[in-house]
């Protein structure tokens, strides 16, 4: 559905879509989640909660989009680009966000980056532990996606 890659010069996420209908979804993911593993963990948890029939553990906050997660899926509107909006089912969002996590987790850690929290672990594992510590719950994807 969506293939993610990393720009070699700026180290920012890029995407390609098989179907143009998914372009706004890919743009939302690469803009709103960007390269932040903890934000991707938030998105995964929101989706997992909805798939399980629970309300999202928190309301999605965004500087660039008006975002609404619900039982039917995801609806969003870019606040700066009027034509960039989308409505996607939970299965579509689940597949796209899971693929984005795989992409983020595949990016090698920057050896020059100094991290304060658990520098002894790979960044993706440290992000997971920090997420669980922050929300005082086991991440719904622990044991499946990571």
For 7-47, write each residue's pLDDT tens digit: 988 889 999 999 999 999 999 999 999 999 999 999 999 99
Q: Which residue has the higher pLDDT, 119 or 2?
A: 2
| pLDDT value for 100 | 98
Portion of the chain with pLDDT greater than 90, in percent: 82
Mean pLDDT of the chain: 94
Q: Which residue has the higher pLDDT, 115 or 141?
A: 141
Q: What is the pLDDT of residues 81-109, one digit of tens each?
A: 999 999 999 999 999 999 999 999 999 88
Look at the pTM and tell me if it is higher than 0.75. yes
| pLDDT value for 8 | 85
Question: How far is the C-alpha of 92 from the C-alpha of 103, rounded, in Å?
Answer: 17
Q: Which residue has the tokens 């743009």?
A: 27
Question: How far is the C-alpha of 61 from the C-alpha of 118, rounded, in Å?
Answer: 26
Portion of the chain with pLDDT greater than 70, in percent: 100
136, burial (CB in 10 Å: exposed 0-12, middle 13-18, buried 19+): exposed
Report CA-CA distances (Å) from 62 to 78, 90, 118.
Answer: 10, 19, 27
């Amino acid at each position: 559905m969506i293939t993610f890659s990393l720009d070699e010069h700026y180290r920012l996420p890029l995407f390609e879509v098989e179907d143009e209908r998914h372009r706004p979804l890919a743009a939302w993911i690469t803009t709103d989640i960007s390269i932040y593993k903890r934000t991707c963990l938030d998105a995964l948890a929101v989706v997992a909660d909805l798939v399980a029939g629970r309300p999202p553990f928190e309301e999605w906050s965004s500087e660039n989009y008006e975002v609404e997660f619900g039982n039917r899926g995801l609806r969003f509107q870019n606040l700066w680009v009027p034509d960039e909006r989308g409505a996607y089912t939970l299965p579509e969002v689940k597949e796209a966000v899971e693929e984005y996590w795989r992409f983020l987790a595949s990016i090698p850690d920057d050896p020059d980056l100094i991290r304060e929290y658990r520098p002894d672990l790979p960044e993706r594992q440290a992000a997971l532990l920090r997420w669980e510590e922050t929300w005082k719950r086991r991440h719904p994807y622990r044991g499946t996606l990571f």
